[in-house]
Amino acid sequence: MTAPFKIFGLFAMGIFMLSANILPEKAPKTLLSEYGYFSGALQNLQPAEGVFLYEVNAPLFSDYAEKSRFIYLPSDARLQYRESGAFQFPEGATIIKNFYYPLEAAHPEKGRRIVETRLLLKEVKGWKALTYIWNNEQTDATLEVAGASFPVSWIDAGGKKINLEYVVPNVNQCKGCHSYDGQFTPIGVTQKQLDRTLAGNRNQLQIFQQQGQMEGLPASFDPEKAFHLADYRQREISLDASARAYLDANCAHCHNPHGPASTSGMFLNAEETDLEHLGVGKPPVAAGRGSGNRKYGIVPGKPSESILLYRMEHTDPGIRMPELGRQLVHEEGVALIREWIHGLRG
């Protein structure tokens, strides 16, 4: 009797070890509503228990889509503060980003159309990216792993109707941007993006700490002195701070020493101080259509001779930068960087 029992015991132990270490992660849910991140009508994006809203200082331009951002944390779990790089997330956490267009930008009270929701789920083996596309009725969103495109239209702040073939990235394209030394990593959940003053003159990071959503923020933390990105949409701040924040948010997830574009030698993160790494007087690593026959990344005082601006002004997939995430030219962003380059000296 002892031998069969011993074999069964080893077999059971083996099943336990398999469950704990080898079995694949849970299959993603087909519908966004199945996660329970929001309560009530899904389109209202009313956070459920364990889900909280966050804001960034310098948003990524995504064809004028607006975004509503949330973080879900399992019970009793917390974010771990880091002075640089993405905060540490516990297993089971999710970053939730909803993309939407107001039907009329000048009249947000007339409603909106949510087009997609992107999830970053923290699993045992790392991060998993999932995209959910919303139905026309705005009642739910369905998982789409292969990418998609569909028409979207809205009326902009000037009263002009904009028609766009909206593009949803596939999973591999998500990995292409969310890369740090080859490892998938979140982009916007950093001190420089989240160190932000909210309504009531309260600091977002300190709120997270006080509410038990984050730990590790030093008691000596001073929001005014800590390094953070400017909100480039607020033009009362300095031109240089606005431009550097814009380039950090829209370019530096690839163009940094640890990103997919590190071999270009052009680093556009706001911490960079080397002018050549910023592109000033720097010839491209590989000349081609993307250079527009211009010689240098940035020519101080001469935006029309700067490759950086040339690529921002284009919609051709073989020329434009960023390569993914936009079909339209960000007119306000182009104007900001043009003004900044024009003001550079030497």
pLDDT tens digit string along 16-68? 333 333 334 678 999 999 999 999 999 999 999 999 999 999 999 999 999 99
Amino acid at the residue 25:
E
**10-43: burial string, b at 16+ Cβ within 10 Å, e else:** eeeeeeeeeeeeeeeeeeeeeebeebebbeeebb
Tokens of 8: 């069964």
Instruction: Return d(Cα 311, Cα 309) in angstroms, integer.
Output: 5
pLDDT band of residue 11 (cuts 50, 70, 90) is: very low
In this prediction, residues 65-81 reach a mean pLDDT of 97
Q: Residue 17: what pLDDT?
A: 34
Q: Residue 4: what pLDDT?
A: 38
Q: Chain-wide mean pLDDT for the chain?
A: 89
Q: Please say if the pLDDT value at position 155 is more than 60.
A: yes
Query: What single DSSP character describes residue 271?
Result: T
Tokens of 222: 């001073």
In this prediction, residues 311-318 reach a mean pLDDT of 92
79, HSE (Cβ side, Cα atoms, 13 Å): 28
- The answer to whether 278 and 264 have CB atoms below 8 angstroms apart is no
Residues pairing with 114 in the sheet: 100
Instruction: Return d(Cα 177, Cα 60) in angstroms, integer.
Output: 12
In this prediction, residues 211-231 reach a mean pLDDT of 95
Distances (CA, A) of 218 to 87, 90, 215, 226: 14, 19, 9, 11
Nearest to 59 by CA among 248, 249, 247, 194: 249
Going across the sheet that includes 66-72, the strands are 51-54, 66-72, 94-102, 112-123, 126-134, 141-143
pLDDT tens digits, one per residue of 234-292: 877 899 999 999 999 999 999 999 988 888 999 999 999 999 999 999 999 876 788 88
Q: Are strands 214-215 and 79-80 parallel, antiparallel or unpaired?
A: parallel
In the chain, domain spans: 29-210, 229-343
Helix axes 239-251, 331-343, angle to 10 degrees: 130
Tokens of 143: 């998982």
**118-135: burial string, b at 16+ Cβ within 10 Å, e else:** bbbbbeeeebbbbbbbbe
The H or E element that residue 107 is part of is none
Residues pairing with 95 in the sheet: 71, 120
In this prediction, residues 146-169 reach a mean pLDDT of 94
Query: What single DSSP character describes residue 309?
Result: H
Q: Residue 25: what pLDDT?
A: 61
